[in-house]
Amino acid sequence: MIPIPAQVHAAAAEHPYPLLFATVSGAHLYGFASEDSDWDLRGVHILPAKQVVGLLPLEETIEVAHNDEIELDLVTHDVRKFFTLLLRPNGYVLEQLLSPLIVHTTQEHDELKDLVPALLTKHHAHHYIGFANNQWDMFRKETPQRVKPLLYTFRVLLTGIHLMRAHRIEANLDVLNETYRLPFIPDLVARKIGGAEKETLAPGEGEAFEQEFLTLRERLIEEAAQTTLPTETFARPALNDLLVRIRLNP
């Protein structure tokens, strides 16, 4: 487990509202953070019931950026908004919820993680296909082309494939590649970790990865067609009960 800097813990501790959880996402979670990578802190805050039932605007999403000794980006959603995102086929919020890089946790965080199997559907494949397409388009249009969006592309494709096959969220590229063994992944990861956040490829080098992208994307589409994951979530009643309990007893 990678050490989490004190500044990250301090950012969570200074949050203006009680936190349900706060975890590290981004390149540190995915297994290819370079020395100058920023820290992506994600989580859920709990607005007081008196604010939620009132007429004033709600702070449903709070974003804070720090750039002191380290670059830190904190984003939290109110518990109701986060639960709503969980009910959509959104793999990104599931990865935040299940991140093993935990900065702050609660009993309710554990309860929420226990509900994840009932949240998974075959439609989560659409999230990962769309994310991969966006990252690939970003990679293709850049000059020079960077290693980071290329790694993001293959990470999300493998996460999606693994979810459809194993019914589990795994966001770490090194762990995923223990199963899928793409021969070029270790070199790309080593170049990103040993280089900089904006590490680039040599001219023309990126062309060799297009067929790999197309093959994995097609594999994810096929796995989604064959998966035994349900077409809809069964977690809404349990999420509702947990939300009410959290809101009334923060």
Residues 6+ apart with CB under 8 A from 26: 33, 37, 38, 39, 40
pTM for this entry: 0.95
Per-residue pLDDT of the chain (250 residues; tens, 9 = 90+): 789 999 999 999 999 999 999 999 999 999 999 988 999 999 999 999 999 988 888 899 999 998 888 999 999 999 999 999 999 999 999 999 999 999 999 999 999 999 999 999 999 999 999 999 999 999 999 999 999 999 999 999 999 999 999 999 999 999 999 999 999 999 999 999 998 778 899 998 999 999 999 999 999 999 999 999 999 999 999 999 999 999 988 6
CB contact at 8 A, 96 and 76: no
Which own/partner contact pairs does 99-102 have at CB distance under 8 Å and 24+ positions apart?
99/23, 99/24, 99/25, 99/29, 99/42, 99/171, 100/1, 101/1, 101/2, 101/4, 101/23, 101/24, 101/28, 101/29, 102/21, 102/22, 102/23
With both helix axes pointing from N to C terminus, report the angle between 147-166 and 210-226 in degrees, rounded to the nearest 10.
Answer: 20
Terminal alpha carbon distance of the chain: 30
